[in-house]
Amino acid sequence: MSSTGNDILRRRSQAVAEAVASRFAPTTYAQVDRVGRTEVRLTMPHHLVEFELDWMDDLVEVFVQPLGSGRHARRRLVGMLPAYDRALFESETRRAVGRGGLRGMAAQIDAAARAFELFCDDAPACREAGF
């Protein structure tokens, strides 16, 4: 890829990482660019939230890991949601993927943010997931 193409990808991944960080308001965040994807790690008061942004397929995967003693392995956010919230999140994600490009990825990030907020507000779901 040309240096111009690399600059465009770098700026795009930086903009998306900043959008993710502003949506979640973490205590810290880090961005790691890899070939064809970007990983954004957000440290929240009680969780580590990781976004894997796949630039080739315009997909966003979200993983959550609790912080503190007795740390559990990271798990996909969608797998920890109650059935109704999971169906809603998957439906929103499918619509967002259909949009494609940056708009679709932004919609996926918004859907993930809403799902994470629901997950954190739903104490039984948090306990059931081991958080």
Number of structural domains the chain divides into: 1
The residues facing 47 across adjacent strands are: 66
Strand 59-66 relative to strand 28-34, pairing: unpaired
Q: How far apart are CA 15 and CA 89, in angstroms?
A: 23
pLDDT of residue 115: 83
- Mapping DSSP to helix (H, G, I), strand (E, B) and coil, where does residue 129 land? coil
Note the pLDDT tens digit of each residue in 40-87: 888 888 788 888 888 788 788 888 888 876 667 788 888 888 888 889
For residue 82, which of 42, 40, 110, 120 has the smallest C-alpha distance? 120
CB atoms under 10 Å from CB of 98, counted, come to 10
Question: Mind giving me the DSSP string for 43-107?
Answer: E-SSEEEEEEEETTTTEEEEEEEE-SSSPPPPEEHHHHS-HHHHHHHHHHHHHHHHH-HHHHHHH
Identify the domain containing residue 15 by its residue range: 3-128
pLDDT of residue 118: 78
pLDDT of residue 69: 63
Return the DSSP state at 115: H
State the chain's maximal CA–CA distance in angstroms: 50
pLDDT of residue 9: 67
Note the pLDDT tens digit of each residue in 74-118: 888 888 888 888 898 889 888 988 887 778 888 888 888 888 877
pLDDT of residue 126: 57
